[in-house]
Structure 1
Amino acid sequence: MSARSKHPPTIGESTPAAGGWAAARSLGEILLREHVPRSGPSLLSHHNKPDGYMCVSCAWAKPAKPHAMEFCESGAKATAWEVTSRRADRAFFAAHTLHELEQWSDHDLEEQGRLTHPMRWNRSTDKYEPVDWNDAFADIGEALRSIPPREVDFYTSGRASLETSYMYQLFARIFGSNNLPDSSNMCHESSSVGLPESIGASVGTAILSDFQNCDCIFYMAQNVATSSPRMLHDLQDAVDRGVKIVTFNLLREPGLERFINPQMPSQMLTGRSTPISSEYYQVKNGGDIAALFGVCKALIEADDAMKALGMSKVSGSDAVPHKPDNAAAVAFAASIAAADKKHVLDHDFINTHTSGFEEFAEAARHYNWAELERVSGLTREQMIQAARTYAHSEAVLMIYGMGLTQHVMGVQNVHMVANLALLRGNIGKPGANICAVRGHSNVQGQRTVGITEKPDLVPLDKLKELYQFESPQWEGRATVDTCKAIMEGEAKAFVSLGGNFLRAVPETEAMEEAWRKLRLTVQIATKLNRSHVIHGEIAYLLPCLGRIEIDEQASGPQAVSIESSVAHFHGSRGKAKPASEELLSEPAIIAGIAKATLAKGRVPWDEWVGDYSKIRDAIEATYPETFRDFNKRMFQPGGIPRPVPARERKWTTPNQKANFITPPRLFPELDIGPGATEVLNLATLRSNDQFNTTIYGYGDRYRGVKGTRKVVFMNEEDIGRLGFKEGDFVDLTTAIDVATTRRVTGFKIARHAIPTGCCAAYYPEANPLFPLAHHDAKAKTPSYKMLPVRLSLSALSSRS
């Protein structure tokens, strides 16, 4: 029975706080549902512990001194989901055709449990049937050799270890392909492009100790309670010592308002919660640049006033001042002077370490408040108040998530975060850094060891020296490029290391139709999903060990390594009994395909599979500065810090400076056409009962939803203005690129605290609405957080 059928769809009141007894009950429910009420708690005692396994859910950091229970609700669900006693075994596949399974929901496919045997699709029966591992490798190798390398794509989900990822990218390059799309292309690629331009680092500069050293946190566009709940402990500790948290977010999220810590008996017994945000600003969808420009404008104009009125105590600040043109800037400047601050902006830092300040400052001065208010959805007073809090703080930690990166102007959003930090020197000192919160557990680490379509980001000369082959020099395909190539028939084979590609990408319907025309699809996975039941002409489903499981190889039990959101490498050692004796590890599967595909060369595939420490030696040989003494330090408490020069104010940009980069506009230029007042800007969301494309159940207690995921959250004013009422069922239609009709149907209207002109729906249910071309121009990250849509009454509505 599916989780959907157990609860009639209802939408009620949202949970007022994250955590608490509701989180504890949710944990108990999934342990019972996956039939692991005894083994589950035992495994969780090793969760994110120094000699245990790294969480298979989010990428949040593993502390040197972990809590007794170093897991959250989301991580516990992911663990139970992976070690479930349910099995999608030979009998299951013998009983179901793939055509039948196509009609199943995402939840119900994965709920069948762990895959147990390698499978090959039989065209005559339309079923997956068992196949010997060696036969599968030989057949896949033969098929790959018959296809030009440029027509083969090697996709990577965010869970694979550093060891597996290194082997995978090496296999692809020796084969002759740089087509290495990965899940990072769909989430934080805007950071990987924007941060290097601003500060010379492809990752954030923050480390865990910054939470102990900051006196203010700017928290932007990330739902901590759903996406990285363990961070709530760090936020709570910061609040308890007086740190102000200034939040900018589209929705009012319980985890950003209040937290009841399940590991604090005093809170659990009394229901007392910790208030998280001291200031909460709901920014309109796509209004992030305007909101941050408003904060910057307030700071710059106050600094101008401080100079003009002779209040500045900064040496060398006798440049011709800009005259203050408003009382607010003068009052702001006076408050800084009264607090005995030397300046509003950190001119010493700006002069020594940055470039581009004057151009950016002029742009900030030029924007008028009315325009910034209209685009951001914030008032002038709110933006000035955020600037005041920022200016009165000495060490500000900037935290942001995919609410900034998954935009048409995602790279510019990242630039604006860096600009705000640079104004007061809030990079490269204790407590003052940028924290880009990654989603999947090792999506950042995979890029570190070469999973990238961009050959200039990989030490190809070193790979040539080590393995004696000529790597292709051409730029490969990122995720949206791969989708386009599949739809246009330019891609012939797709090898997937985990993930549910078809549900994660835009253009769902067109992609599924084109997917069936692929010559070869190979899926390496732990559980069944939609990308497996829709398939190519030759299709293999290869089950692998999960990270939580004991990985026994020739040299004994193996460990793997993972990179966290704060760029530290950690060891991970599985503790659970494997789901099937037929499973192979990810490195063993990659090696098996590689040996069957490639001519014999210098890569010791079998040695690597027998002893993963030798893979780590190879990683260190390829990246000696990043992975110094990798094997020796892998399990050191707190992890191995990845070298990030910007943490030490060393800027590896072309001009050796941190750069103020001025966005060309406040909002993307989108062709909506007539009837713009009827258009709402849609953002996609995750529920607290899912992780990316994995759906644990049909509920979201943080938004009061039970029994459904087909919900559209709207402002009460917009509901009435557009002629609807709460509870109506509506269809959503894309309002751009209207030559192709993109529609999802039967979404129930839920009144919610969201700015006017905006609406929200769950990912991936809303993915069919997103045109493939609707992405950031540089990063090619799909704009899942902002899409103009129109709503119309559905045939499902009680009023139809």
Structure 2
Amino acid sequence: MTDKMAEPKIEAYDGPAGGWGSAQSLTEILLREGIPVSGAALLMKQNKPDGFMCVSCAWAKPAKPLTFEYCENGAKATAWEQTAKRCGPDFFARHTVTELRDWTDYALEEQGRLTHPMRYDAGSDRYVPVSWDEATAAIGRELRALDPKSAVFYASGRASLETSYMYGLLARMYGNNNLPDSSNMCHEPTSVGLKASIGVPVGTVVLEDFDTTDLILFFGQNVGSNAPRMLHQLQEARKRRVPIVTFNPLRERGLERFTNPQSVVEMATRHATEISTQYHQVKAGGDLAAITGMCKALIAADREALGVGRPGILDRSFIDEHTHGFDAFAAYCESQDWAALEGRSGLTRTAIEAAATVYARARAVIGVYGMGLTQHRKGTESVQMLVNLLLLRGNIGRKGAGPCPVRGHSNVQGQRTVGITEKPELAPLDVLKEQYGFEPPREKGLNTVEACEGIVSGDVKAFISLGGNFVRAIPETVRMEEAWRTMRLTVQISTKLNRSHLINGEVAYILPCLGRIEIDTQASGPQAVSMESSTSCFHGSRGKTNPVSDQVRSEPWIVAEIAKATLEPNPNVPWDSWVGDYSRIRGAMEATYPSVFHNLEGRMFEPGGIHKPLAARDRRWETETGKANFTVPEGIEADPDMPLRGADALDLITLRSNDQFNTTVYGYDDRFRGVKGTRTILFMNADDIARLGFADAEIVDVTTVSDDRVRSVKGLRIVAYNIPPGNCAGYYPELNPLIPLWHHDEQSKTPAAKAIPVTIARSASTLQG
């Protein structure tokens, strides 16, 4: 198939985030997916108290929603899922799997919604129709024949709390904790770092804190493309003259200026609100050094103020009462050399001190961050350094303040809350044992990187995927695809076709599921589900449109049928009863987690959601010391041990366009960065282009050499861009083949996708031409 894309065109985009560009993009995708009327009507119910929660990002639902409580990317996600296009047995009859492997991610998903369960037939190299009974029975037979430790149960982050609870129980009753999820790929340093520092594995900020904050710090999070609804909170803060200080390698449009598409005046006048009051283009991985510099400046200013009899800068009463380890941390900061901090951060001492000065004047500070902070070899230490900065002035457990990690998939945080974790200590295994009468496995399971290692070694024989496009999301794509085909069983529970369906095991099934937006009717009638936002609030969600096919099934139904086909009968686990009435699943969840899900059934549609209890918000520190912990990093280098670092090497940052969400590509335009019609791009600093002997628009090959393996991506077009010298950037997931499997955060094993040393050479095809 040839993609319907224009001739590649690169030209600067001067518009703001939001505005007419966003409106035009929304109109285009509704028309392209054949739902201009029905899609627009559905969007009016998106993120509303009695509607459906967005299937895209996990940003919070406000108690008083806007008329259009969706962003450009959220609208694209709805249009993409509710497309009029269908991908059924007739499509698979026309195409072999080998042929489809040559299609792009966009072309595969653009075929539309999956409508029928399918089984891979090796003889014809095609997927063929199969009944649900045959499919689940065969999956059960395959799983029963395997060592339970050899099967992996992956969850992408979109499944509801109810489905996720059942899925985790299925895996543990089967006999393992092999429950990796998309947290492993993005925010696991948050879970590890915050838990050790403040006793909770999630951020402490709720939506209302944005109404009372005095300062917002942004680190490595592109709000305009990854969580655009947050722009409303940022715009309101700026209208209150709240400063926003940004640290990010690229100048992202959503962090520069925003025109609210819901404001008639702003749209008519094309008025844009300035978002960042300071914008510091830190080097990739330089946040650790930049935050260390801010802490150093604050500690020095505090010492100077106290020395002359003025009030101190630090919140000494908070530090004394609530924290542990301050003296060692202060000594570490004081020992740091400013020249080293400047060199690693890419910022001047003056710039770092300017940010610290604004911070010192603010009473309540929110620290927002994304994967620019987490996806490094020292990602956990980077998260903890931000916590250190907040602790210096008591900015945790205070109204309008705290850490605010921005999560990706709409329920990725909630899945962890109900037990999707490979770490047995994070699941209430003793409660599950008593509740369901079985002995849960106590051995640590496999996270994402470990699952990949197990597939390469041959130890993993089966992979069940609850949503997602795992093969495209993981590092070292070429090597992983080769190994993937050696597995015995692969199962994809999906709404749309993607590459993970085509890199299949010996036995493979595609199981089409209902989307969240569709009405889910079971024995007791239409069902509702729940999920958790980035701000730790639980929300209900109701489907609002008819299913795409009478052959699609709900995720709870699919999980239950696989469980019944795989496990020995257990009278304590009422799979059929749960599927017939999801309120009974919520009752089971409350029995397992009584303090978390108290009366979820009666409150799940409360405007604004139900706040999950977080001890750190009340300045109760569930840590080993009983206090919030200052932590001392090993150094200021976030990626210290990649052997390839020389004059000709650049640090590559993988990033998303504003025309995609995670691995889902909605189109080939990256409006904010001025790219049209292509994703084979390498953004470079103009001085680096000249220094290395290349030219703008030249076609190059990019290679990572980190050990005895050579990893390359060929045919990228150089685009001169405002990016720090020594850095370059390109699109995820196309550049994932360049990430070594071992190149991950040391503590959490999250792939370090934001600083990959690479070399660049003229494309072999160009040289031949």
Query: TM-score by structure 2 length?
Result: 0.99
> CA 1:390/1:249 → structure 2, altered by over 3 Å: closer, same or farther?
same
Amino acid of the structure 1 residue aligned with 2:602? K
CA offsets per residue over residues 91-129 of structure 1, 9 Å max, x none? 101111111111111100000000000011111111111
* 1:617 pairs with 2:626: no
> CA 1:669/1:410 → structure 2, altered by over 3 Å: closer, same or farther?
closer
Aligned mate of 1:573, from 534, 538, 542: 542
* 1:639 pairs with 2:609: yes
Q: Distance in 1 between matches of 2:641 and 2:209?
A: 43
2:226 — aligned with what?
Answer: 227
C-alpha contact 2:15 2:21 (8 A) present in aligned 1: no
Q: Distance in 1 between matches of 2:577 and 2:229?
A: 37
2:17 — aligned with what?
Answer: 18
Aligned mate of 1:550, from 512, 519, 539: 519
C-alpha contact 1:679 1:735 (8 A) present in aligned 2: no
Q: Distance in 2 between matches of 1:49 and 1:613?
A: 21
Amino acid of the structure 1 residue aligned with 2:583? S
Q: Distance in 1 between matches of 2:426 and 2:645?
A: 45
Structure 1 residue 694 displacement after superposition: 0.3
- Aligned residue for 1:732, secondary structure, equals strand
Amino acid of the structure 2 residue aligned with 1:141? G
1:97 — aligned with what?
Answer: 96
* 1:707 pairs with 2:677: yes
Structure 1 residue 670 displacement after superposition: 4.3
Q: Distance in 1 between matches of 2:645 and 2:586?
A: 58
> CA 1:554/1:774 → structure 2, altered by over 3 Å: closer, same or farther?
same
C-alpha contact 2:219 2:369 (8 A) present in aligned 1: yes
1:535 — aligned with what?
Answer: 504
1:592-631 correspondence runs (5 A): 592-601=561-570, 602-631=572-601
- Aligned residue for 1:6, secondary structure, equals coil
C-alpha contact 2:644 2:706 (8 A) present in aligned 1: no
Amino acid of the structure 2 residue aligned with 1:437? V
Amino acid of the structure 1 residue aligned with 2:440? S
CA offsets per residue over residues 116-154 of structure 1, 9 Å max, x none? 000111111111111110111111100000000000000
Q: Distance in 2 between matches of 1:346 and 1:531?
A: 51
2:658 — aligned with what?
Answer: 688
CA offsets per residue over residues 259-288 of structure 1, 9 Å max, x none? 011001111011110000000001101111
1:327 — aligned with what?
Answer: none
Amino acid of the structure 1 residue aligned with 2:693? G
> CA 1:65/1:799 → structure 2, altered by over 3 Å: closer, same or farther?
farther
Q: Distance in 2 between matches of 1:671 and 1:377?
A: 19
1:495-506 correspondence runs (5 A): 495-506=464-475
Give the percent of matched residue pairs that are identical in Structure 1 and Structure 2: 59
1:332 — aligned with what?
Answer: none
- Aligned residue for 2:687, secondary structure, equals helix
1:451 — aligned with what?
Answer: 420
C-alpha contact 2:377 2:640 (8 A) present in aligned 1: no
2:709 — aligned with what?
Answer: 740
> CA 1:670/1:399 → structure 2, altered by over 3 Å: closer, same or farther?
closer
1:301-312 correspondence runs (5 A): 301-312=300-311
Q: Distance in 2 between matches of 1:505 and 1:22?
A: 32
1:138 — aligned with what?
Answer: 137
Structure 1 residue 621 displacement after superposition: 0.3
Amino acid of the structure 2 residue aligned with 1:67? L
C-alpha contact 1:670 1:736 (8 A) present in aligned 2: no
Q: Distance in 1 between matches of 2:4 and 2:536?
A: 42
- Aligned residue for 2:128, secondary structure, equals strand
C-alpha contact 1:713 1:752 (8 A) present in aligned 2: yes
Q: Distance in 1 between matches of 2:188 and 2:648?
A: 32
Structure 1 residue 673 displacement after superposition: 5.1
C-alpha contact 1:693 1:764 (8 A) present in aligned 2: yes
Structure 1 residue 177 displacement after superposition: 1.2
C-alpha contact 1:718 1:757 (8 A) present in aligned 2: yes
1:50 — aligned with what?
Answer: 49
Q: Distance in 2 between matches of 1:684 and 1:673?
A: 19
1:185-200 correspondence runs (5 A): 185-200=184-199
> CA 1:153/1:394 → structure 2, altered by over 3 Å: closer, same or farther?
same
Structure 1 residue 215 displacement after superposition: 1.0
- Aligned residue for 1:731, secondary structure, equals strand
- Aligned residue for 2:207, secondary structure, equals coil
Query: TM-score by structure 1 length?
Result: 0.95
* 1:772 pairs with 2:750: no
Unpaired runs of 5+ residues, structure 2, are: none
* 1:720 pairs with 2:690: yes
C-alpha contact 1:107 1:694 (8 A) present in aligned 2: yes
- Aligned residue for 2:647, secondary structure, equals helix
What is the Cα-based RMSD across aligned positions, in Å?
1.1
Amino acid of the structure 1 residue aligned with 2:524? S
Q: Distance in 1 between matches of 2:555 and 2:534?
A: 23
1:32 — aligned with what?
Answer: 31
C-alpha contact 1:120 1:539 (8 A) present in aligned 2: yes
Q: Distance in 2 between matches of 1:242 and 1:721?
A: 42
Aligned mate of 2:637, from 667, 675, 686: 667
- Aligned residue for 2:334, secondary structure, equals helix
Count of paired positions: 768
Unpaired runs of 5+ residues, structure 1, are: 313-342
Structure 1 residue 735 displacement after superposition: 3.7
CA offsets per residue over residues 300-348 of structure 1, 9 Å max, x none? 0011111222223xxxxxxxxxxxxxxxxxxxxxxxxxxxxxx211001
Amino acid of the structure 1 residue aligned with 2:574? P
Q: Distance in 2 between matches of 1:554 and 1:671?
A: 56
C-alpha contact 2:215 2:244 (8 A) present in aligned 1: yes
* 1:656 pairs with 2:626: yes
Aligned mate of 1:394, from 340, 363, 382: 363
- Aligned residue for 1:217, secondary structure, equals strand
> CA 1:669/1:82 → structure 2, altered by over 3 Å: closer, same or farther?
closer
CA offsets per residue over residues 670-699 of structure 1, 9 Å max, x none? 455577011100110000000000000111
Aligned mate of 1:473, from 436, 442, 445: 442
C-alpha contact 1:442 1:564 (8 A) present in aligned 2: yes
Q: Distance in 1 between matches of 2:145 and 2:565?
A: 13
1:39-438 correspondence runs (5 A): 39-312=38-311, 343-438=312-407
